[in-house]
Every structure is written in C-alpha cells, then in structure tokens.
Amino acid sequence: MTQVTAETDAPLRDQVKSRAAERGMTLIEILVVLAIISLIIGGVAVAAFGRLDTAKIKDARNQVTQIQGFVEIYKLEKSGKCPKDLQDLKAAGVVNKVSKDPWGNDYVLTCPGEHGDVDVLSFGPDGQAGGDDDIASWDDDRDKDGDDEKKK
C-alpha cells in the first residue's frame, strides 16, 4: 500500500490549485468575450437606427412623388379639377387607402400649389411645419439625407 505523506501529497495539491486557477481564468475570459460582443452589438444597433432614419426620409420622398402622380390622374379623370385633400383621391378610386408619412402624420396637399401644379408636404420627423426636416414636392433637387449637395 502507498502511504500518503507531505511529499507525495504536494503534486496533488498543485494539481487542485492549477484547476482552480484555470476555472478563474475561464470566467474572466468569458466576461471579456461578453464585453466585446456587447460593444459589437451596440455599434451595430447605432448604425441600424441611423439607417432607419434615412430609410424613412427616402420613403417619405417616394410617397410625396406618388401622391403627385395620383393627383395628376385625379385631374385627368375630373377634367382638370383639383382634389381638396387626400380623401378626395380615395373617394374617386384613385388610391385604395390614404397613407400617413413614416412618422404617422398626414401629408399636406395643396392644389393648385404655390410651387407647382400640386404641392405635397410632409412635416418630417419633428412633425412641425417649417423645419429643415420638412419633405416637400418642390425640394426634390435637395438631398435631405444629411448632405446639401445637388443630385446629379
């Protein structure tokens, strides 16, 4: 039989201490990995929300252009008569439903318009008239996505 002495017990103690140290390092490594993953997810979320705002602006600009086209169809069907509002387009069967802008506000329709045959306006993200974020049918040449460059 083998006797356990202080000398034969030493390697066993070192082995137990080594395992405990490895477990502690593993926990630290997991925490570091979780921190890195959190930073990556945070960066992706910030980028995604920025793109969401840009997508809403582009959607509103497309809808403004579509509404202008619907008004032209209405005028052709009604011998040049202008609709009073978007509900007239629906009542005439030109559109199936009257949509709101991407921020949940109604589009403003003016026919005849001050800037063209028909003016269509979305008050933009702030929902207030007169801001820099308004999206108007007469501002099609201005890039409202953040740059003030002329489109080519």
pTM of the model: 0.61
Contacts of the segment 138-146: beta carbons below 8 A, 24+ positions apart: 138/113, 140/61, 140/65, 144/57, 144/61, 145/54, 145/57, 145/58, 146/54
Both tokens assigned to 33: 């990995």
Q: What is the mean pLDDT of the chain?
A: 78
Beta partners for residue 136, in sequence order: 121
Confirm if 137 and 144 have CB atoms less than 8 A apart. Answer: no
The domain 8-139 belongs to what CATH superfamily? Glycoprotein, Type 4 Pilin (3.30.700.10)
- Give, for 115, the enclosing helix (H) or strand (E): none
Both tokens assigned to 35: 């921190």
Q: Cα(first)–Cα(last) distance of the chain, in Å?
A: 92
Q: Which of 101, 88, 23 is nearest to 61 (CA)?
A: 101
Confirm if 56 and 86 have CB atoms less than 8 A apart. Answer: no
Any idea which of 28-37, 56-65, 92-101 has the lowest mean pLDDT?
A: 92-101
pLDDT tens for residues 65-123?
A: 888 888 888 888 888 888 888 888 888 888 888 788 888 888 888 888 788 888 888 88
Both tokens assigned to 124: 């933009």
